[in-house]
Homo-oligomer: A and B are copies of this chain.
């Protein structure tokens, strides 16, 4: 066991799978010689060489097109889109090509590929480098969507994503790159579509994802001090979605609170709230409440960004107010 940062876990997870399987290749901007702008892929070039770890031009459509064409012909590429906001310049390859081609060809093709990307806010990068795009990906049929909240999950879910025969959008929370977790020295392989119960409580269920998970946990601790005992779930993968665990835990407490990083409209929390309402309505003791970034572009200034993203404080007061009304 050793303490590993979330950023180190990226390279660890990729290396684990590259060692195992020659068909795994990796491409992106500044990922090889430089080890990535977030230093998430340091050492991969040195270990696996320039045929398997490749720098590209600033051509996101080419990067993802290359990944798609390689995947349909037998490789298992991992592509990096440096900041998740840049999905916007190559969204066609993601949403119209990679996601739909298996279905359109009646299953003639598979796309075993992973697109990993630094997602979300917290680093004062401003509106074009901070958007949480988890809902962009979730809404497209044919994409799996994974977002780990700690280094151990990074490794295990990365391995599961690489081994998966479908395209996976792997969203790394930029705000978590520096966070540390205890991880075993042996290989780690996790399962897509399994939410994790991080805390048990009888009063309400808080569901969170990525960078919001540590905040949800901290809020739960604080709420416990105020007499509100919460279950905390880490969704981990939006597609496939572990509705069984979520519905079970919400039914048990009778209340759902979602904590989302994305701006308000059409986030995963909305989907989840609607599933809960539709399927376990009669188990609910009160309204489901979503805690999100307001529906605004993310501002750059530290003070403003901190006000915009759901904070521990906002989670606590929102839940307290709702539970006491």
Which A residues form the contact surface with B (CB < 8 A)? 85-89, 91-92, 94-96, 99-100, 103-104, 126-128, 131, 135-136, 138-142, 239, 262-271, 273-274, 276-279, 281-282, 284, 286-290, 295-297, 299-300
Complex: chain B residue closest to A274, CB-CB? B273
Complex: chain B residue closest to A126, CB-CB? B104
Complex: chain B residue closest to A86, CB-CB? B92
| Contact yes or no, B99 A139, CB < 8 A | no
| Contact yes or no, B142 A297, CB < 8 A | yes
Complex: chain B residue closest to A280, CB-CB? B287
| Contact yes or no, B91 A128, CB < 8 A | no
Contact flag A278-B287 (CB < 8 Å), given A100-B128, A141-B297, A268-B266? yes
A85 to B97, CA, bound (A): 11
Closest Cβ–Cβ distance, residue A267 to chain B (whole Å): 7
Q: Which of B128, B263, B284 is close to A141, meaning CB atoms less than 8 Å apart?
A: B263
A268 surroundings in chain B (CB, below 8 A): 266
A136 to B137, CA, bound (A): 10
Q: Identify 14 new A-B residue pairs, CB closer than 8 A, beyond the known A266-B267, A273-B273, A273-B278.
A: A96-B128, A96-B131, A103-B127, A104-B127, A104-B299, A136-B139, A139-B266, A139-B267, A142-B297, A239-B265, A266-B266, A266-B270, A270-B271, A273-B277
A299 surroundings in chain B (CB, below 8 A): 103-104
